[in-house]
Structure 1
Amino acid sequence: MYITGYFSGFDGVRLFYRGWIPQEPRGFLILIHGAGEHSGRYSHIGEICMEHQLGLLAPDLRGFGKSGGPRGHVNHFTDYLADLGKLIEAFQIQYHSAPLFIFGHSLGGLIAIRYGQIYPQKAKGFILSSPALEIRFPLPPLLKKTLEFCSWISPNLSIQPFKWMEILKKIRRLNHYFPEPDVEIIEDPLFTFEYTPRWLTELLHNGIYALLDTSKFRFPILCLYDQQDPIVHPDSILRFLDSISIQDKKYVMFEEGLHRHWHANHCEHAIENVMTWLTPRL
């Protein structure tokens, strides 16, 4: 059964979600999309989950997709965690016996990590896809300070990083680090291309917090990432995996130079890894 609807975020903001729910789900996945994305981009995963008798719930984060809130903005990163908690509570009332796994890509991966660190024992395991622990190339100190200042005096100021990329790509040595966005993304009316200084500073700060608080993450984990990812630094992902104490951890590494591998040629291989990892844990 495919469902859509809205639920109230922790502060009353209307948040959209999609769900793929079999009659008797063996377990549930909460899928958290990446920056700019929305739940509709993962419909193919929802359909595959249905075939495996797994339920999948995929919200549109506040400020993205069909959800409310200023585009590409969050006041505090913990707002994402509080919204996620509301969704989990609502659906566990009906499906309390089904084991819950949290699946996050990029921004969603960082949200998943922080949720596991701050709200332990809410999920049975985590699937992380290119979690945004650290961007590939550090921002210059002056730019960081400018963002911090703008975040303080004008947190809702809208900026469009794709325009910055066009400028940076003119520097020859940086050109290959900023690939052209996919046509399907450009033509997607629900894709968000604008962000705010507050959103970016909250993202950067929480990537640091996630790496500092690895001792608080004690869940079985599967992590998929690309060694040549042009957006997220793979070294930060390996530092995180090496630092967590739990032994039930596995990672799958690609070398395709891609960030969104759920929409690439090896998507089937990535999904197969997820299902293989999930089966004995259900």
Structure 2
Amino acid sequence: MNEIAYKTGSFKTSDNLTLHTARWLPDSPRAAVILVHGYGEHSGRYEHVAQALAANGYAVFALDHRAHGKSEGTPRALIQSIDTVVADLKQYVDAVSVEFPHLRRFMLGHSMGGLITWGFIVRHQEDLSGAVISGAPVDADANVSPLLVTFANLVNRVSPAIALIDLTPLDELSHNPQNKEQFAADPLNYHGKLPIGTGVAINEEAKYVRAKLPEVTLPVLLLYGEDDMIVNPSGSHTAYELIASPDKTKKGYSAMKHEIMNELEKATVIADIIAWLDAHQ
């Protein structure tokens, strides 16, 4: 049987924040998967995904973003620049590549983590062999009224921590009632409203990513729930059309909401991810 070694750790960012990390290592890993969580949550919510990947021979590495989960950073859930988060991720990926230089590296990102994954790709695609991206808000700014964008930009200049919008209504996470209950009960999740600064950062990164997507040649698997009311599936369609990669796949799941890896039929999604990774060894 493939024994999985679980270990937590941390590292210091360039601005001296301590970020929490976790890894799941099988006996003889055949590739590395860097797991990138979304807004207001933490990497521990994807332990079942990491365990499944590790059981199939993939070494999984994850971090909690700054101001999220077990990582430092205040106010909580405030990210004023996705570029900064991508820099954190780059630092972590570099450390993984030094420790495991023989392993090909893939990235798996969900929601804001999917946008961060795109941000990493358009800046550092040479560091990866492929990526799986779930429900990324690539069209975030295009799905917000220009008036609201202008208002948010003005408020952000004065007080980026002001929180006005409920970005993650629990009923829209998934059709899985247990997932809703677990999210609400988890103190490591952020339960407040969206800080204006984070919203502005997401919008700005979405614009930046769209402009750079035609330069992407990396193999990519794009996944989304067809019932997603938190992130418009148009972002997945837009990314699919814009990237130049000859190896790109897009798949929507009927009767699934935003968190497809936490849905009632999550095993199907995880199996699809593993099958894609297996095909890209």
**TM-score higher than 0.5 here?**
yes
Say yes or no: does 1:27 pair with 2:25.
no
- Which secondary structure state, in structure 2, belongs to the residue aligned with residue 207 of structure 1? helix
Aligned match of 1:170: none
Q: What's the offset of the Cα at 1:25?
A: 1.0
Q: What's the offset of the Cα at 1:135?
A: 4.2
1:47 is aligned, of 40, 45, 51, to 51
Give the number of aligned pairs.
Answer: 273
Q: What's the offset of the Cα at 1:178?
A: 11
What percent identity do the matched residue pairs reach? 25
Supply the AA of the counterpart residue of 2:32: F
Cα displacement string for residues 181-235 of structure 1 (whole angstroms, at most 9, x for unaligned residues): 9121111111112332111101012112212211121100111112221011112
Say yes or no: does 1:141 pair with 2:146.
yes
Asked if structure 2 preserves the Cα contact closer than 8 Å seen for 1:10 and 1:79, the reply is no
Farther-moved stretch of structure 1 (216-225 vs 176-185): 176-185
Aligned match of 2:65: 61
Stretches of structure 2 lacking an aligned partner (at least 5 in a row): none
Aligned match of 2:190: 192
Cα displacement string for residues 150-205 of structure 1 (whole angstroms, at most 9, x for unaligned residues): 11111233x15339979xxxxxxxx9999999121111111112332111101012
Aligned positions of 1:197-216 closer than 5 A: 197-216=196-215
**Using a 3 Å threshold, how does the CA distance of structure 1 residues 37 and 164 change in structure 2: closer, same or farther?**
closer
Normalising by structure 1, report the TM-score: 0.90
Cα displacement string for residues 46-93 of structure 1 (whole angstroms, at most 9, x for unaligned residues): 111221111001111111101111211123210111000111111211
Cα displacement string for residues 97-129 of structure 1 (whole angstroms, at most 9, x for unaligned residues): 100001100000000111110113011001001
- Which secondary structure state, in structure 2, belongs to the residue aligned with residue 213 of structure 1? helix
- Which secondary structure state, in structure 2, belongs to the residue aligned with residue 119 of structure 1? helix
Q: Distance in 1 between matches of 2:255 and 2:93?
A: 34
Q: Distance in 1 between matches of 2:253 and 2:174?
A: 19
Normalising by structure 2, report the TM-score: 0.90
Say yes or no: does 1:108 pair with 2:113.
yes
1:80 is aligned, of 74, 82, 85, to 85
Supply the AA of the counterpart residue of 1:255: S
**Using a 3 Å threshold, how does the CA distance of structure 1 residues 178 and 59 change in structure 2: closer, same or farther?**
closer
